[in-house]
Amino acid sequence: MEPRIVKKPSFHVIGYHFVANLKEIEANNLSGKTLDRLQSNAEWIPNRKGDHVYLIQVYPMREYFNPFEDKFTQIIGYEVYEPGEVPEGGILHTVPEGTYVNVTHKGFETDLYKTYDYLYGKWMVENRCMPLGYDFELWDERYKPEEWDNEIGVYVAINK
């Protein structure tokens, strides 16, 4: 796992969101249900850039935040060329231009927490970075969550 610092321009996502903690997300399969909803309504999302999906997580900026206990916003959507009509119950979210630590998680999605633990717990401390309250994952053709050759692009917004 070799994290690298990247700059990304702003981009728009149209999709669906919910607010929950990790326990609720896992117990109720909220991400899976939201992904199914998104994919079943894909034809209603104008200006889609393709079939890749973004999972965006927005955290409250407070000390001692614990994603297993504290609620945060999760957005699952398609990147669009430009904002357009949003399907009923959906949202338009703009990810701001910024600097990110980026790494490709390789392996089962159930082990993704190890990648986040490394980035937030070790890499940021060693590199003297502060998270900016959100991160996102890119689920493209490499996304096979229940297979060993799964790959997920992970991007954490930082203050560099």
CB atoms under 10 Å from CB of 30, counted, come to: 17
Q: With bands split at pLDDT 50, 70 and 90, how would you rate the model's confidence at 99?
A: very high
For position 63, what pLDDT does the model report?
82
The strand ranges marked E within 21-148 are: 48-58, 72-80, 91-95, 98-106, 131-139
More confident residue, 63 or 25: 25
Six token digits for residue 141: 């053709």
Mean pLDDT confidence for 42-57: 95
For position 62, what pLDDT does the model report?
82
Digit-coded pLDDT (tens) for 26-44: 999 999 999 999 999 999 9
For the chain, domains (ranges, CATH) are 4-158 (3.20.80.10)
Six token digits for residue 133: 């309250």
**Mean model confidence pLDDT for the chain:** 95
| Inter-residue contact 101 to 50 (CB < 8 Å) | no
Among residues of the chain, what percentage have pLDDT more than 90?
A: 89
On the question of pLDDT at 75 being above 80, the answer is yes
Digit-coded pLDDT (tens) for 111-142: 999 999 999 999 999 999 999 999 999 999 99
pTM over 0.85: yes
Shortest CA distance to 76 belongs to which of 25, 136, 151, 120? 136
On the question of pLDDT at 159 being above 80, the answer is yes
CA angle, residues 74, 151, 52, in degrees to nearest 5: 55
